Structure 1
Amino acid sequence: SSSSLSSSSSSSLSSSSSSLSSSSLSSSSSSLSSSGQGAGEVSRSSLWLRAMGDAPVITQTRPYAFGVTNPVNVKLPQEGDLHRSNELISVLRALNLYETAAGNLQRERVLNELNRIVVDWVVEVGMEQGLDEQEARQAGGKIFTFGSYRLGVVTPGSDIDTLCVTPRHVSRDAFFKILYAKLQQDARVSKLTPVPDAYTPVLKFSFDGVEIDLLFARLPLPVIPSSWNSLENDLVLRHVDEKTARSVNGSRVADLILKLVPNKETFKVTLRFVKHWAKARGIYSNVLGYLGGVSWAILVARCCQLYPNFAPSQLVHRFFTVYSIWNWRNSPVLLCRIKEHSADGLANFKVWNPKVNLQDRHHLLPIITPAFPSMNSTHNVSLSTKRVITEEFANAKRIFDIWDKKKEISWTEALHLVLKPLDFTSFKHFLELQVFAQNETVHRKWLGWVESKVRFLEPGWECASSMLVALNFAQQPCVIDLRPAAG
């Protein structure tokens, strides 16, 4: 699950940006001058090779502000590109991929109320530990968001990924016991499920109909200022444990992705399309060895860096062209340079480095998070799932190429063909896993555990049958009551 954004950020395009025009794009884009448009004259083959990070494409008098290489093409979109972008947005709206105004207001209300509950809980814990009421209230505590909501691409019914940041006197044990009990007593909270032993510990619940994933991070500070709007400063990680660092970095990564794209609105439209495509094609799942929300966001952001002035219609086409031929063996996807820290309290963090770490060297589809400590967001990808992902890139590219070169189909028809859900009738063999439990609460926990282990079956299948395996998992499980009938 991936969904989140601070309440000040809108998850749907505002009325002023739901229709694209050349003036709006040029004014809000990367402000690269048209004098650099000579890049568009370079042959197509050399452009793609250089997009892999092997060489800069454009020589400029100043450094390019976005990415680890110069852009491939800085041409501005034509009117046809803008018209097709508006058609793209219409298709996304028809698929109900934009949250309603009422839905956005409800999410903001829930986040504000959840923040109030967290602040009150921090005060209670502080007073129990001997702080007077004024000190306890000044200590603060705050909710941050990340994932799809923070990136501005939340959809109706999706959850909100949230992070509870507290001062040093509040423990993780208090989070899973005292705050859990507080939420359990709230009539607005349902489906409350603690997962304290997860790789990143989390509380899952529904608050007034909005699904919430709540992570916890205790910082070694006496006070968490209410004025904090971001955790971007690396120093917030000083002397924290790895679980805390992983929790905090969800928010830090989302903030940096938004900071590292030339045009946030074109990024959001493109990401909305790509996420829906990945879900429709059955390759949106980190736990099954495909790509999760963060990985897809980084891929889209990198494409935006390479084509900073392109309209969404151009970007969705170029996205599949770029990644269908990406040199995964030698070129990890990076939004910025990987940072190392020697400062006290930061030097012990492991940073992705294939030159030093043997395990990193064997990653098959490296997509690196931009926030320190940088890590590979796709470490679960296997040979089979990589093959499936790259085949899906190629299939989508093929459809867009038919539209672009042969004009045999319209732009809207091409979009619908690319977004066509995976047809399971094309497969000859299936292995179905049925997950049973005695009640819905147990079933949620058991289902999550089974789903997290499915990918470990795959290497055995490959060795036994010399075949490639595609993994998928039902997202709407059926809960069956197994209790014996009365009498």
Structure 2
Amino acid sequence: MANGYLSEDYKIKNQQVISELSNIVEKWSPEALIKFPRYLFEHKKLEPICILPDEFKRELIFGKLNCDNAKREYCEDESLYCSICLHSGLKLINKVMNDKNFSAGPPTLKMTFMDVPIEMAFIMAAHSDEGMKGKAELRALSSCFINEKILEILSPVRNFDNKIDDQMAAEFNVTEKLRIVIAYLELWAKSNYVYGRVMGYLDTPMLLIMTAKVFLMFPKASIPFLIEKYFLVYSKWNWPMPIQLTQIDQKRIGKFMSWAPGRERQFASGKELAMAIISPLFPEQNEAMQINLSTAKIIQIELKMAFAQIRKVDNLQALLDPIMANGRAFTEKYEHFVTFTCGGTELNVENFCNFVGKRLRHELLYFVENSLANWVRFCHVYPTCVPVEPSDDRQMRPTNFNNLHKKVWIQV
């Protein structure tokens, strides 16, 4: 991989995974259509979308059984879940149904398939527009519509294309600019281990809102200039002052559903607000609600370091190298580490370890950083779990425990 772009080995491996998974879906249901996004950079996981008819039963996707790697043959219903379970390349699979929480996203199958993490989302598409009007409120909760709202806010900038000549208009395509800047910032965040909502770091919706704010400040700027200003603005930002693209109308019906600092503290048991990045679509919510004081400190440190690197560059077109050079291996960033190992039975190890991972950043803040503030500046949790090889000492391990343990590096 050079500068994060796709390597040949990565392309070949992805093609094998895509081919195998596509064959499974096609054999499972001729009505299913699976689409894989085109990646410009190497991602740690694939995120395909499976499109199904609106009347398709969810039971046919998730089934009623659980996948046990030691007894795959018992997962024998006609669901896609069991069809994937029967493949020898499957290591882990988890159902995320989101039946009642539409804002949490579409129903999803999370899996490790042929050693590649995959999150397959399911979209039900109606044959016509009939009945869709009654779903307007639910559809507005989708992140897709938040993205559309951001582009709508940027429309005055996009309309500027009509006032300049064709050559300048080609360079001033705001949508294309936005895509490039977001791809760059995603690569920066992942290279510096501050990407991942679950562990309290940045993710694409947050980066999109933050970038749109910079676009509105500098509507005619070039891509290198916008990237420089992104790091300038947010390395100097007076956190937790909220980042907002639109004002929240406190007089409208349903205002209690929208974000407010006091309301967030009330639902978060009085915890201190660390960052506020507010979505522009009703009901407005804080996309950065998972970020606490500890992870906010880490993000701010990385923003300042990136900006310091940019200021050393004479040619803005050469921004990529100095910022990405700062993205060292995680074990090279710090001198002291604590390793947490999570283990459980094969049936529930994934859910249990996910729960442990979500709690780590809270426990470290309250029991390490606050208690040992004179010695510990902050704890940087590695954004993802790292698989641990199984132990050869079977006498020391109960036979009913899975070898799929996980570890997380913590800087202290």
Shorter-chain TM band: 0.5 to 0.7
Question: TM-score w.r.t. structure 1 length?
Answer: 0.56
* SS in structure 2 of the partner of residue 158 of structure 1: coil
Alignment of 1:471 with 2:355, yes or no, is no
State which of 236, 250, 259 in structure 1 corresponds to 2:135.
236
Change in CA separation of 1:257 and 1:143 when aligned onto 2, cut-off 3 Å: farther
Q: For residue 24 of structure 1, what is the aligned residue in structure 2?
A: none
Q: For residue 402 of structure 1, what is the aligned residue in structure 2?
A: 312
* CA apart distance, 1:438: 5.7
Partners of 1:297 and 1:118 in 2: CA distance:
36
Q: For residue 203 of structure 1, what is the aligned residue in structure 2?
A: 109
Change in CA separation of 1:320 and 1:165 when aligned onto 2, cut-off 3 Å: farther
Change in CA separation of 1:464 and 1:210 when aligned onto 2, cut-off 3 Å: closer
Please give the per-residue CA displacement for 1:107-150, whole angstroms capped at 9, x wherever unaligned.
98789778867875xx8xxxxxxxxxxxxxxxxx88799xxx59
Q: For residue 368 of structure 1, what is the aligned residue in structure 2?
A: 278
* CA apart distance, 1:433: 0.5
Alignment of 1:158 with 2:48, yes or no, is no
* CA apart distance, 1:286: 1.8
Please give the per-residue CA displacement for 1:413-466, whole angstroms capped at 9, x wherever unaligned.
534444445564644x43221223465x75444432321221121222233112
Q: For residue 449 of structure 1, what is the aligned residue in structure 2?
A: 355
Partners of 2:22 and 2:279 in 1: CA distance:
29
Q: For residue 299 of structure 2, what is the aligned residue in structure 1?
A: 389
Whether the 8 Å CA contact 2:92–2:350 is kept in 1: the answer is no
Please give the per-residue CA displacement for 1:370-425, whole angstroms capped at 9, x wherever unaligned.
34333111112122221221122111111211224xx8xx7565344444455646
Change in CA separation of 1:383 and 1:208 when aligned onto 2, cut-off 3 Å: closer
- Identical aligned residues as a percent: 19
Q: Runs of 5+ in structure 2 lacking a partner? A: 65-77, 159-173, 396-412
* CA apart distance, 1:341: 11
Whether the 8 Å CA contact 1:192–1:203 is kept in 2: the answer is no
* SS in structure 2 of the partner of residue 364 of structure 1: coil
Q: Which shows bigger deviation, 203-212 or 317-326?
A: 203-212
State which of 177, 198, 201 in structure 2 corresponds to 1:287.
198
Please give the per-residue CA displacement for 1:61-80, whole angstroms capped at 9, x wherever unaligned.
xxxxxxxxxxxxxxxxxxxx
- Could you tell me which amino acid in structure 2 is paired with residue 389 of structure 1? I
Change in CA separation of 1:176 and 1:216 when aligned onto 2, cut-off 3 Å: farther
Partners of 2:133 and 2:288 in 1: CA distance:
23
Q: For residue 224 of structure 1, what is the aligned residue in structure 2?
A: 126
Alignment of 1:480 with 2:390, yes or no, is yes
* CA apart distance, 1:106: 7.8
Alignment of 1:97 with 2:8, yes or no, is no
Change in CA separation of 1:207 and 1:285 when aligned onto 2, cut-off 3 Å: closer
Q: For residue 404 of structure 2, what is the aligned residue in structure 1?
A: none
- Could you tell me which amino acid in structure 2 is paired with residue 190 of structure 1? L
Change in CA separation of 1:143 and 1:253 when aligned onto 2, cut-off 3 Å: farther
Whether the 8 Å CA contact 1:142–1:166 is kept in 2: the answer is no
Q: Which runs of structure 2 are paired with 1:242-253 in the superposition (5 Å)?
A: 249-253=142-146
Change in CA separation of 1:212 and 1:434 when aligned onto 2, cut-off 3 Å: closer
Q: Runs of 5+ in structure 1 lacking a partner? A: 1-92, 124-140
State which of 304, 320, 335 in structure 1 corresponds to 2:231.
320
Alignment of 1:352 with 2:352, yes or no, is no
Please give the per-residue CA displacement for 1:335-372, whole angstroms capped at 9, x wherever unaligned.
445578978xxx59822233665548953211122343
* CA apart distance, 1:206: 5.4
Provide the alpha-carbon RMSD of the alignment.
4.7
- Could you tell me which amino acid in structure 1 is paired with residue 177 of structure 2? T
* CA apart distance, 1:173: 9.2
Partners of 1:259 and 1:208 in 2: CA distance:
40
Change in CA separation of 1:425 and 1:334 when aligned onto 2, cut-off 3 Å: closer
State which of 366, 390, 394 in structure 2 corresponds to 1:459.
366
Partners of 1:303 and 1:411 in 2: CA distance:
17
* SS in structure 2 of the partner of residue 384 of structure 1: helix
- Could you tell me which amino acid in structure 2 is paired with residue 95 of structure 1? N
Change in CA separation of 1:323 and 1:112 when aligned onto 2, cut-off 3 Å: same
Change in CA separation of 1:118 and 1:323 when aligned onto 2, cut-off 3 Å: farther
Q: Which runs of structure 2 are paired with 1:43-442 in the superposition (5 Å)?
A: 94-98=2-6, 149=37, 155-156=42-43, 158-160=45-47, 162=49, 167=54, 170=57, 175-177=62-64, 179-184=79-84, 187=87, 190-191=90-91, 193-196=93-96, 200=104, 202-205=108-111, 211-215=117-121, 224-225=126-127, 236-238=135-137, 249-257=142-150, 262=158, 263-330=174-241, 332-338=242-248, 347=254, 350-354=257-261, 358-359=265-266, 362-404=272-314, 414-421=322-329, 424=332, 426-427=334-335, 429-437=336-344
Please give the per-residue CA displacement for 1:68-110, whole angstroms capped at 9, x wherever unaligned.
xxxxxxxxxxxxxxxxxxxxxxxxx722334878789889878
Change in CA separation of 1:288 and 1:324 when aligned onto 2, cut-off 3 Å: same
Whether the 8 Å CA contact 2:279–2:287 is kept in 1: the answer is yes
Partners of 1:226 and 1:326 in 2: CA distance:
46
The structure with higher relative contact order (CA 8 Å, sep 6+) is 1
Whether the 8 Å CA contact 2:258–2:285 is kept in 1: the answer is yes
Question: TM-score w.r.t. structure 2 length?
Answer: 0.65
Partners of 1:315 and 1:277 in 2: CA distance:
14
Q: For residue 58 of structure 1, what is the aligned residue in structure 2?
A: none
Partners of 1:435 and 1:185 in 2: CA distance:
23
